[in-house]
Structure 1
Amino acid sequence: MEGVRDSSTRPVIMVTNDDGIDAPGLRALVQVLVSTNLYEVLVCAPDSEKSAVSHSITWRHALSVNRVEIEGTTAYAVSGTPADCASLGISKALFSTIPDLVISGINMGSNCGYHVVYSGTVAGAREAFFYGVPSLAISYDWVRGKSSIQDFKLGAEASLPIINAILAALKNKTYPQNCFLNMDLPTDVANHKGYKATKQGTSIIKMGWTQVTSDIEGGKILSTMTMETDSLTGPKTDVPSTISGNLLFKREEDKEDTVIHETHVIERSIDLEQVVKTEVEIKGQQYDDGDTDHQALQEGYITVTPLGALSNAETDCQSYFKDWLSCLVEFSSSSSL
């Protein structure tokens, strides 16, 4: 990992996100960065919303990349995922230089606890980290009815001390190479309580599934097709073996074969009475020190959480399975005798 360029050149910051290149969070962050005149700002972000795509990448087809006018920057909109954008932006395929720092955000919605696994915002920063480029994910705890677009600008301004501190550490070659940072901004960011170093907690939104009413009455269509008696087993290619991924049924009492398209429309649902499953519920213990990301964020702090590339199991799990495998090997050996 290389440090920041010499003092005669401005540090290069590349911005990406998962809400899309037109998202207010990204635009506010870019505007604040440009207005300081301290950095060279590059943008490489998805051309549409890619929220909650996690660390997915585009593998089987080419990406479409289009130049976008964002004042004070060199910017591109990409048809891929946040991880694609981060990878492309640091590859020198688009820009002539590798950025000193990649910032992913500002996301509309916090990314704490287990939700960093789902987050495209965090994935954008993680992808840069994979390739040795320092990175920072920034998310804002947007609450409908309380938050406004102006809060993104306030959040970007509140992020500047962290951004400058990262760049200073890189210049001094004291910045750690084995992690990247995940930062969450509280809802009342204008009155935040300061910056707090936190650890990733285990909070997660409790989601389920709810069947919703389809435009099709009863969610079922009957489509009668006249077919040869051997059409389901013969080599004919004009009879589909599946239809749009739906279930196929044959009604034996009919003289004609009838295909029933039974489609269930199901969407994600959230338990509004118990939105967040806390560390206490999952771990069975209380974090009195308030050092987990979600807890500190709810208390009004700007949380700064170092993350690694992988989520390693806790020590007690590692010890358990080490002993478990030893016993299993011994049992297998004795059973074979």
Structure 2
Amino acid sequence: MTSVKNTLLPPSLVSNLQDVLMNRNGREDAGGSKLEEGTEGCVGTNEEREYQEGKPIVLVTNGDGIGSPGLTELVDALVRSRQYVVHVCAPESDKSASGHSVTLRETVSVSSVEVHGASAYEVSGTPVDCVSLALSGSLFSWSKPAMVISGINKGSSCGNHIFYSGAVAGAREALLCAVPSLSISLNWNKDESQESEFKEAVDVCLPLINAAIRDIKKGIFPKRCFFNVEVPSTPAANKGFKITRHSQYRSVLSWQAVSSSRYPAGHFMSKQQSLGIQLAQLGRDASAAAAVRRLNAQKKTVEIESVAEHGKPEPQRGTARKYYRLEFTEKDQEAADEDLDFRAVENGFISVTPLDLLVQCETEMYNSASDWLAAALAPSDVQTS
């Protein structure tokens, strides 16, 4: 039996140290034989055992929130396959169109939740926060999973939507951390699509996921890119996978004026109210059950004083306040190239687009910009390579 040598430490502290050592090395029964470590009440024990048996770890995140059907169907399928150790770290609420944003100068809250038997956490931050936090080693015992899967997102991530998509940003953050990744979206049709199609989307994407993880283990999966996967609106009727190129497809950002009379009082949250909610979140125990935490959040009302810097008056605002709501409006696309991502999806294929982290301009564009800069500024102010 593991013991602590007699010291001048208080007896209560010695007893605590003995308990810690026993829990670390495996408990012993009365006869001196070791009991299996963590066989009672230890969350994640099965996953740790599977990890030791060599099963690859898959981290799942998304942009629609941890309770979205796309994520839950994906996690359920991965867990049921018994091929992987599945971990989840996803936003606690919808963070669609959050792009590659992170949470600075604020504290995020984290709570453990149950998602189809996977070890899971919900985070008050963005998808990028979730992936970065998970890969930091602060939540899970591993340093890096075999793959990060971000999705399944509800809505198109084709074309320039990749710059707005929180799901794509989660996969991009994984690649920044040198972890292979996929982002997956279902081309949701607002008037026709049904939630049952998320399960179909998972089913048609599993062969790609399995092949990717298989080749990651072999060391032959591409290392300089991640894949943005777009599933057509009727997944079960797809025509197969098609490698595609990133298009300039985009929706128009349309700002609509909104009358405050359409909403009940308090619908619009002030900065002070928002900060109050954040302070309330900090006071909650991050390890509490998600349902209890949400209930407490609904009951708490926090009032705080002005957050203006000391000695500086708050800016004076007019009495008339206007409200606007952002909507994406579909734009007709003229490009006819069948190898573009959105065209492939329109034609019934599952679009698979490799995306990298390079932000350099193409050679022709670089030369054009260099010529312009040289002509616009004095020659002595311009350095060319």
- The structure whose residues are more often helix, as a share, is 2
How far apart are the structure 1 equivalents of 2:139 and 2:128?
15
- By relative contact order (CA 8 Å, sep 6+), the higher-ranking structure is 1
Structure 2 residues not aligned, in runs of 5+:
1-49, 263-309
2:91 pairs with 1:18: no
SS in 2 for 1:193: coil
Equivalent positions of 1:217-232 (< 5 A) are: none
TM-score (norm 2): 0.70
How far apart are the structure 1 equivalents of 2:327 and 2:94?
20
* Equivalent position of 2:374 in the other structure: 326
Which whole-Å deviations, capped at 9, do the CAs of 1:224-276 have from their partners, x for residues lacking one?
xxxxxxxxxxxxx9996435xxx43xxxxxxxxxxxx11111112454xxx13
Amino acid at match of 2:351: T
2:198 pairs with 1:152: yes
Q: Is the 8 A contact 2:146 2:180 kept in 1?
A: yes
* Equivalent position of 1:51 in the other structure: 96
How far apart are the structure 1 equivalents of 2:74 and 2:240?
19
Amino acid at match of 2:75: V
* Equivalent position of 1:110 in the other structure: 156
How far apart are the structure 2 equivalents of 1:239 and 1:31?
53
* Equivalent position of 2:245 in the other structure: 199
| Cα drift, residue 310 of structure 1 | 3.7
| Cα drift, residue 174 of structure 1 | 1.1
Q: Is the 8 A contact 1:206 1:277 kept in 2?
A: no
2:210 pairs with 1:164: yes
Call closer, same or farther: CA 1:11–1:297 in 2, change over 3 Å: same
Aligned length: 286
Equivalent residue for 1:90, pick from 135, 139, 158: 135
* Equivalent position of 2:331 in the other structure: 276
* Equivalent position of 1:213 in the other structure: 259
SS in 2 for 1:276: coil
| Cα drift, residue 157 of structure 1 | 1.1
Equivalent residue for 2:105, pick from 60, 63, 72: 60
TM-score (norm 1): 0.79
* Equivalent position of 2:171 in the other structure: 125
Which whole-Å deviations, capped at 9, do the CAs of 1:283-334 have from their partners, x for residues lacking one?
xxx443x11111111111101111112443333221201222333456567x
How far apart are the structure 1 equivalents of 2:192 and 2:95?
24
Q: Percent identity?
A: 41
How far apart are the structure 1 equivalents of 2:201 and 2:73?
9
| Cα drift, residue 18 of structure 1 | 1.0
Q: Is the 8 A contact 1:44 1:89 kept in 2?
A: yes
Equivalent positions of 1:230-309 (< 5 A) are: 241-243=314-316, 247-248=317-318, 261-271=319-329, 275-278=330-333, 280=334, 286-288=335-337, 290-309=338-357
Q: Is the 8 A contact 2:72 2:116 kept in 1?
A: no
SS in 2 for 1:26: helix
- The structure whose residues are more often strand, as a share, is 1
Call closer, same or farther: CA 1:331–1:199 in 2, change over 3 Å: same
* Equivalent position of 1:40 in the other structure: 85
| Cα drift, residue 144 of structure 1 | 1.9
Structure 1 residues not aligned, in runs of 5+:
217-236, 249-260, 281-285
How far apart are the structure 1 equivalents of 2:226 and 2:323?
39
SS in 2 for 1:182: strand
SS in 1 for 2:256: strand
| Cα drift, residue 193 of structure 1 | 0.6
CA RMSD of aligned residues (A): 2.5
| Cα drift, residue 145 of structure 1 | 2.7
Q: Is the 8 A contact 1:196 1:303 kept in 2?
A: yes
* Equivalent position of 1:184 in the other structure: 230
2:157 pairs with 1:99: no
* Equivalent position of 1:224 in the other structure: none
